[in-house]
Amino acid sequence: MKMIGIFGGTFDPVHYGHLRPVQEVCDDLDLDEVRWIPCGLPPHRDPPKASAQDRLEMLSLAVKGNASFVVDTREVDRNGPSYMVDTLESLRHDFPDESLVLILGQDAFNSLPEWHRWQEILQLAHIVVCTRPGSELASSGQLVELVSERGTQDISRLKDEKAGVIYMHDVIQLPISSTQIRDLCLQGKSHRYLLPLAVNEYIQTNGLYQKDR
């Protein structure tokens, strides 16, 4: 069975803390592709600072030349809040017979019980949780129960089944966040080497994340 990775985010802007962990998941799980899905209107946080068009442009620049990474515009093309469950239903429609692998950073996974119709997510996809500096799995609660019921260390289940298991994956620890990059811009400081050079240049050329915008 083919395995399609799904990586959603605000990507405001995309940085190496997104790119490197997802590359590792892609390699280690032997994914056929990873679909990068920038959200339109994030339901659980402030609206993005950069426009959807700018975030898409930056993402396209970041993944250029990587044959396994695909930019998927379905959330920015849709009206209303970007609920992951709707996105997964639409992906399941497009890929009825494939394994869908939703990749989440640990902090995003920790917020899962706040997501719209979150209990349906594992009916539609597997979840791979990437370790992230500063975030750990809570020691009790709904997610711990979920991980004990659905967690596996057997990677082959992600390929043999279309959805339904949780796999925790250690990735390189890069304590980079989009917030930190936006703050550096506001302070007029350099954000070089935290994100791909082409994205760095796009931010500068278009004056993104500055005070008067």
Tokens of 108: 């995003």
Those residues whose C-beta lies under 8 Å from the C-beta of residue 65, and which sit 6 or more positions away, are: none
Is residue 132 within the footprint of ligand ATP (CB under 6 A)? Answer: yes
Kindly tell me which residue out of 29, 177, 195, 203 binds ligand ATP, with binding defined by CB under 6 A.
Answer: 177
Is residue 17 within the footprint of ligand ATP (CB under 6 A)? Answer: yes
Q: Which of 22, 7, 14 is nearest to 171 (CA)?
A: 22
Is residue 130 within the footprint of ligand ATP (CB under 6 A)? Answer: yes
Tokens of 180: 């930190």
Q: How far is the CB of 108 from ligand ATP (least distance, A)?
A: 3
| In contact, 91 and 100? CB cutoff 8 Å | yes
What b/e readout covers 11-28, taking b as 16+ CB neighbours within 10 angstroms? bbbbbbbbbbbbbebbee
Kindly tell me which residue out of 5, 9, 40, 196 binds ligand ATP, with binding defined by CB under 6 A.
Answer: 9
**Number of residues in contact with ligand ATP under rule CB under 6 A:** 18
Is residue 105 within the footprint of ligand ATP (CB under 6 A)? Answer: yes
Q: How far apart are CA 70 and CA 32, in angstroms?
A: 11
Q: How far apart are CA 11 and CA 13, in angstroms?
A: 4
Q: How far apart are CA 11 and CA 148, in angstroms?
A: 31
Kindly tell me which residue out of 4, 6, 11, 84 binds ligand ATP, with binding defined by CB under 6 A.
Answer: 11
Q: Which helix (H) or strand (E) holds 28?
A: helix 16-29
- Beta carbon nearer to ligand ATP, 103 or 158: 103
- Beta carbon nearer to ligand ATP, 160 or 170: 170
Give me the residue whose beta carbon is nearest to ligand ATP: 105
Is residue 178 within the footprint of ligand ATP (CB under 6 A)? Answer: yes
- Region of 7-15, 58-66, 84-92, 183-191 interacting with ligand ATP (CB under 6 A): 7-15
Q: How far apart are CA 132 and CA 40, in angstroms?
A: 24
Q: How far is the CB of 99 from ligand ATP (least distance, A)?
A: 19
Q: How far is the CB of 44 from ligand ATP (least distance, A)?
A: 10
Residues that bind ligand ATP (CB under 6 A): 9-12, 17-18, 21, 104-105, 107-108, 130, 132, 174, 176-179
